[in-house]
Amino acid sequence: ATVPAALQLALEREELSLDFQPMRRVADGRVEGLEALLRWRSAELGPVSPEVFVPVAEETGLIVPIGLWAIEKACEAAVGGSWRIAVNLSPVQFSQPGLISGIGAILHRTGLQPSRLVLELTERTLTARPGSVREKLRSLRAMGVLLALDDFGTGYSKLASLHDFRFDMVKVDGSVLRIGAPQREPVLCALLDIARAFGAATVVEGVENEAEWRMLGKLGADFAQGRFLGAPRESVAAALAEPAMP
């Protein structure tokens, strides 16, 4: 089968699942939240990476039901805890009706406190149809949901969007940590300063070793995520059971 044909059946065949990756507070290493990441084990194609199937889901419109399914599963998984749960949103979800009412219904159904849900969007979402996106983000904010700008440092970075859309959190992309010395530290420092200037909490993604983790303490980032701090795991319990960081 082709990817689009198999993906069409993935939801009803219950082939989709979520992994959970911890996000830690830099000050003390405690888990502040988990990011939910979609996974697909296709009966016909085997495991398919989200880098392959998310674009197909966007092209076919399947990202709309799949995206709401992911939010619902993430909220269900989080409802008994005290940590935040973050879910990624595609720009296509913002261009279709029903996103705001769908999220409202999920919060109602699961009973998750809205301030425990973080929706992650990228600059791709902000550039598509800024007027209608702004209105939808305002509705989400009015519900009490938190908003994070994901993959910061990889897009067009129209910096005014950080002011226009008022993000609670900015997630600096892991590729920034892969910049060579001596530029890495000042570049990261500058990106953190930009996020802070707009009043956002800062998250650095892709932390893969102790040296990077130590550097974040020095630079005063608020939160961090990455394999060194806990890889994506198949259950909430496994993600929370990652050893504490010193």
Nearer to Mn ion, 12 or 51 (CB): 51
Q: Please identify which residue in 51, 160, 182, 246 interacts with ligand G, judged by CB under 6 A.
A: 51
C-alpha closest to that of 130 among 158, 106, 89: 158
Q: Please identify which residue in 50, 55, 130, 155 interacts with ligand G, judged by CB under 6 A.
A: 50
C-alpha closest to that of 126 among 100, 97, 151: 151
151 binds ligand G (CB under 6 A): yes
C-alpha closest to that of 245 among 209, 218, 219, 221: 209
Closest distance between Mn ion and the C-beta of residue 173, in Å?
9
Nearer to Mn ion, 19 or 150 (CB): 150
**219-to-115, 186, 193, 225, 228 alpha-carbon distances in Å:** 27, 10, 10, 15, 18
Closest distance between ligand G and the C-beta of residue 26, in Å?
15
| x/- track of binding to ligand G for residues 153-192 (CB under 6 A) | ---------------------x------------------
DSSP 3-state percent helix, strand, coil across the chain (nearest 5)? 50, 20, 30
173 binds Mn ion (CB under 5 A): no
Which residue has 């996974």 as its token pair?
39
The residue count of the chain comes to: 246
Helices (H) and strands (E) in the chain, counts: 11, 9
Q: Please identify which residue in 151, 200, 202, 223 interacts with Na ion, judged by CB under 5 A.
A: 151
C-alpha closest to that of 56 among 90, 80, 106: 90
Which range of residues in 54-62, 74-82, 131-139, 146-154 is near Mn ion by CB under 5 A?
Answer: 146-154
Nearer to ligand G, 30 or 227 (CB): 227
Q: State the residues that interact with ligand G by CB under 6 A.
A: 21, 37-38, 49-51, 54, 67, 70, 87-90, 150-151, 174, 205-206, 208, 226-227, 232
Task: Report the interface residues with Mn ion, using CB under 5 A.
Answer: 88, 120, 150
